Amino acid sequence: MGDAKRAGMFARKILQGFHKHYALFQEVTRRAKERFGEGDWHAGQYAATVRISFYDQRVRETTAILSQLTGGKLNEELWLETRKIYQQFLQFHPQAELAETFYNSVFCNLFHRRYFNNAYIFVETTLSDSIPLALETEFRSYFPVVQGMRRTLARIMGDIDFGAEYDDLSEDIRLLRKAFREQTAAGELSAYQLRIDVLKEPFFRNKAAYVVGRIVSANRIFPFIVPVLRNSAGRLYLDALITDTDHMAIIFAFARSYFMVHTRAPSALVRFLKGLMPKKTIAELYSAIGLHKQSKTEFYRDFLHHLAASDDQLVAAAGIKGMVMTVFTLPSYPYVFKVIKDQFGGGKQMSRQTVIDRYRMVKRHDRAGRMADTYEFANVAIPLERISPDLLDELTSTVAGSLTIEDGQLVISQLFVERRMMPLNIFLEYGTDAEIELVMKDYGQAIKDMMAANIFPGDMLLKNFGLTRHKRVVFYDYDEVQYLTEMNFRKLPKPETYEQMIAPEPWYTVAPNDVFPEQLATYAVPQPKLRDILLKYHPELIDAEFWRQQQDNLARGVITDVFPYPDAVRFMRCVRTTSG
């Protein structure tokens, strides 16, 4: 077989691998409607967990096929032709950007990193000059001038199949119209002065579905989200109208689990969402809709562009240095980079693999809006000139086992990346009394939200939490994370003798997973003023019975409601029984 035919065969094998991946990904995503309609929340959680592994499974399968065909050896001319043919295949492909990323993954699994350049892989996308997929492939347009606003809204909700019937759609539409009038200037427009665009497919996550759209007038665009919930009888109701872009951004936040949303043209869907939430990056939006590998690609491209356009150096991150990770940042870029240390400090009794497993566990788990999403990269090359001398000294003294130097670049074998946040302990040093009160209240709520998602954060020190730009408390240090159901919450034994009272060490036995909630507040928040605020709002956090009750709820299959939008925007009803 000639090289041209072999190159064509290689390109087709990779594209077939991608098509298999995307078909399986979309099938489990499409069935979110059935799970929502049936109220099968546990099946939804399971599907969200397993879907994350689909990509790596298909990449491994395709890599094995190509490895057998190539013998693991790279013929440079052959692969230059393979890339050229593959690029031609993507000219009118509806998921072209995802297929590029899949190609990169297979190639990088096959060959040495010295070939990881734009001649052999798609470091830069080849699609920037292509005709973009029309946004109209993803949304429907409605014209209230034809039927009036009430009937138009009813038609919008009726056109979306949620797999269940409404409880009282007429009342829902009344509440929705009222909220539009109260929340946006669009409510002052006449029916002939606007158009409503709504994404064809709802966004499913946990116990809610979300309708996403925009009202278009001659002068403005008004984005909106409508959460749809199920009541205890299994019938649907509209729970709220969200028009505040900050509230919308929190629903799509990096600390939340990925949505299930069926899409044939993800690039068009992401561009529509970007128009509604312009502060969100393209990488964040791909991640929000479950395409986390494409999110990694978009993040890495953006990082390379930022390096080329800036000249500041990477430095150690602000805050107390960790015992497990060395953390650094680029001041002009809103992310932190974390490398596992060669030796752990503070008597940490765990292996490197345990740390990796816990970070990956959080990736797969429901993050409940309280745990930052993480990118994991292998063999990342950073120009030595962009690393400050102090940071280079710290890296070589703490993570030397993860470093190599090649051609003026520092190559890090394994790197975790998270959104940079203000460390909570630093914020509390200069915040106003009012800000401190709100933040400490939210810190306690963050712990409760993680509990509801079956997460025990382990190390609850303030330094392991950060503040987002919306002043939400988010956890970001996962080396001691465990499932809540694996822990043993005990009341602190009371001393019965004088010797027990003055003993410098615990006189009672303590197993590895034993936790004494009475000590948690003192340990995590040693400052009396801050601890008093925490216990003012969350006194149950130091009650072992409260933690055991949550374990019991989880064991019985109870999924606690955690709403990603303020209670104040929810519609007033006699009964509201389920969540998003």
Extract the annotated binding site for ATP.
Answer: 317-323, 338
Count of alpha carbons within 13 angstroms of residue 378, beta-carbon side: 7
Q: Which amino acid is at 50?
A: V
Binding residues: 317-323, 338
- What b/e string do you get for 321-350 counting C-beta neighbours within 10 Å, with b at 16 or more? ebebbbbbbbeebeebbbbbbeebeeebee
Cα–Cα dist 175/60, whole Å: 50
| Lookup: tokens for 65 | 């096929």
Cα–Cα dist 327/337, whole Å: 6
Query: What distance, in Å, lies between the first and last C-alpha atoms of the chain?
Result: 56
- What b/e string do you get for 256-278 counting C-beta neighbours within 10 Å, with b at 16 or more? bbbbbbbbebbbbbbbbbeebbe
CB atoms within 10 A of CB 550: 21
Judge whether 340 and 414 are in contact, CB under 8 Å.
yes
Q: Which of 197, 366, 373, 479 is catalytic?
A: 373
Distance (Å) of CA 91 to CA 3, 7, 102: 22, 18, 16
Cα–Cα dist 93/108, whole Å: 22
For 488-528, give the DSSP string: EE-PPPPP-SHHHHH-SS-SS---TTEE-HHHHHHHH--SH
**HEC sequence for 134-188:** CHHHCEEEECHHHHCHHHHHHHHHHHCCCCCCECCHHHHHHHHHHHHHHHCHHHH
For 116-139, give the DSSP string: -STTTS-SS-S-TTSPPPPGGGTE
Cα–Cα dist 210/274, whole Å: 16
Q: Is 552 a catalytic residue?
A: no
Catalytic residues: 373
